[in-house]
Amino acid sequence: MKIIPCEITPVGKRRDGKMRHWCLSHRANATGKYGVRLEQCVKANLIPPSEEETFRLNFNAYPGGIALWGAVPAVYDTTRHPVDRGIHLHAREKVGGEKVVDHTYRHLVVRINDKDQIDITEEEAIYYMTAVVMGHDLKFVVCKHCDYPHLDKDVLAVYPHRKHLCAGCGRDFYDSEVHIGNPIIKVKEVLGDIKIHREVKKTQRVLDIQQSDFPGGIQIWGSNQGIIWTAPILEEEGIHVHCFTDQHKCVVDDTFGTVIIDGQELSANMVRAFMAQAALPHLRDSLMSLSCTHCGFEHFDEGELKYIAHPQHSCARCGELFTSPYRKKNAISNPIIDILAKLENNALTARQSPFLDLLPEGKINNND
């Protein structure tokens, strides 16, 4: 693999008066503590997607329908399969036919016509998902200095704003609207799929299982609306589940409206919210499972409170205000954290999940 050397340049002063340095090769920060110029930028050693992790997508080749999603790890995973992260692609040659492509890639090259193509990166797909699950719209934003397409990441992927830091040139710029930027919107516009919050169909399928029946493990995701959806039927909404009888045989691969595992019923809204919450690094220390201190009702923060940590919570059952009983007072509550921990107690194998650090001692009681 060819190593691309950093091209680091000063791009202006920070709020503290120190100089900010930016790498134009990797489009990343190269400023250290106290404004010191780093020898390498923060992305200098990141490995770019390989050819195996890249898919070149010709929309005309799949008249049966194409769907793209931002893929993050399962919220619950007791398999030993590699963790998915990136852009999940379904493609069919015939409407209602078998999926000829069903895979997750780090990079998509979307062919627009004989001459033009547009890239979609894994970061763009994942932050599209988090913004949409949190109820936001997105906009195609370009830097006013260098015309580089702008992607809002991390905390800024769920907070609409006007001031942006360009990844292309490292300079600040202002957009005309308070919004969240994502280059995928340009892809949607070119392909004629401009809807972000489209109509979906809530599936009525029911899954009631015991983990002991699936020694190969199970995986759980919250469904989220596709970035692109070209099939002539409505997308289904619910909880997506994989169940394996052994390491290689998946006997359940579908989306369900009701999911009950070991007697624990899962809420699709909670699973979907947690999937997006756990993908946002700045929320990880604030996520916990709280119950009302007055009536004991499990509390689920909805609306903008799904992504804004706050000290007071209003109980949906009794209406009383309560606070977190733990040392961390600014919190976001999602009961699915407690439910998944209880499922883990019955798992045949240790849970494989990047979200395990959300269950520190004191936030939940696994023996409840």
pLDDT in tens, 98-121: 999 999 999 999 987 777 889 999
Q: Are residues 16 and 97 in the same domain?
A: no
**Looking at the domain assignment, is residue 102 inside a domain?**
yes
Residue 362 has pLDDT above 90, yes or no: no
Q: Are residues 79 and 184 in the same domain?
A: yes
Residue 188 has pLDDT above 60, yes or no: yes
**Looking at the domain assignment, is residue 118 inside a domain?**
yes
Q: In the listed set 191, 216, 243, which residue is the last one of a domain according to the structure? A: 191
What pLDDT score was predicted for residue 1? 57
337's tokens? 């954290």
Closest CA to 68 of 184, 151, 213, 149: 184
What pLDDT score was predicted for residue 356? 47
Give the dihedral sign, CA 52/54/59/62.
positive
Task: Determine phi and psi for 14, rounding to 5 degrees.
Answer: -85, 180
**Looking at the domain assignment, is residue 228 inside a domain?**
no
Average pLDDT of the segment spanning 191-196: 89
Contact 68, 226 (CB under 8 A): yes
Residue 361 has pLDDT above 50, yes or no: no
Q: Are residues 112 and 152 in the same domain?
A: yes
Q: In the listed set 191, 207, 238, which residue is the last one of a domain according to the structure? A: 191
- Separation CA 348–CA 58 (nearest Å): 42
Average pLDDT of the segment spanning 325-347: 92
- Separation CA 129–CA 136 (nearest Å): 10
Residue 213 has pLDDT above 70, yes or no: yes
Chain centre distance of CA 192? 24
Domain range for residue 158? 54-191
What pLDDT score was predicted for residue 92? 94
Q: Are residues 111 and 129 in the same domain?
A: yes
- Separation CA 107–CA 112 (nearest Å): 16
Q: Assign 327 a pLDDT band (cuts: 50, 70, 90).
A: confident
Give the torsion through C-alpha atoms of 204, 234, 276, 219, to 10 deg.
Answer: 50
Q: Point out which residues pair with 240 in neighbouring strands.
A: 221, 255
254's tokens? 């579908």
Q: Assign 2 a pLDDT band (cuts: 50, 70, 90).
A: low
Q: E strands, 86-147, where?
A: 86-92, 99-105, 107-111, 117-121
Q: Are residues 23 and 92 in the same domain?
A: no
Q: Are residues 129 and 12 in the same domain?
A: no
Average pLDDT of the segment spanning 285-293: 94
**Looking at the domain assignment, is residue 40 inside a domain?**
yes
Q: E strands, 48-137, where?
A: 54-58, 65-71, 76-77, 86-92, 99-105, 107-111, 117-121
Contact 341, 319 (CB under 8 A): no
Average pLDDT of the segment spanning 244-266: 96
- Separation CA 101–CA 55 (nearest Å): 10
What pLDDT score was predicted for residue 351? 65
- Separation CA 140–CA 230 (nearest Å): 21
pLDDT in tens, 17-70: 999 999 999 999 999 998 999 999 999 998 889 999 999 999 889 999 999 999
Q: Assign 350 a pLDDT band (cuts: 50, 70, 90).
A: low
Q: Are residues 31 and 58 in the same domain?
A: no
Q: Point out which residues pair with 21 in neighbouring strands.
A: 10
pTM value > 0.95 = no
What pLDDT score was predicted for residue 130? 96
Q: Are residues 24 and 122 in the same domain?
A: no
Q: What is the mean pLDDT of the chain?
A: 91
Number of domains making up the chain: 2
What pLDDT score was predicted for residue 335? 97
Q: In the listed set 147, 169, 191, which residue is the last one of a domain according to the structure? A: 191
162 Cβ contact list (under 8 Å, min separation 6):
174, 175, 176, 177, 178, 179
Q: Assign 284 a pLDDT band (cuts: 50, 70, 90).
A: confident
Q: Are residues 96 and 5 in the same domain?
A: no
What pLDDT score was predicted for residue 156? 96
**Looking at the domain assignment, is residue 74 inside a domain?**
yes
Q: Are residues 11 and 109 in the same domain?
A: no
Q: Assign 358 a pLDDT band (cuts: 50, 70, 90).
A: very low
Q: Are residues 74 and 121 in the same domain?
A: yes
Q: Are residues 40 and 168 in the same domain?
A: no
What pLDDT score was predicted for residue 59? 86
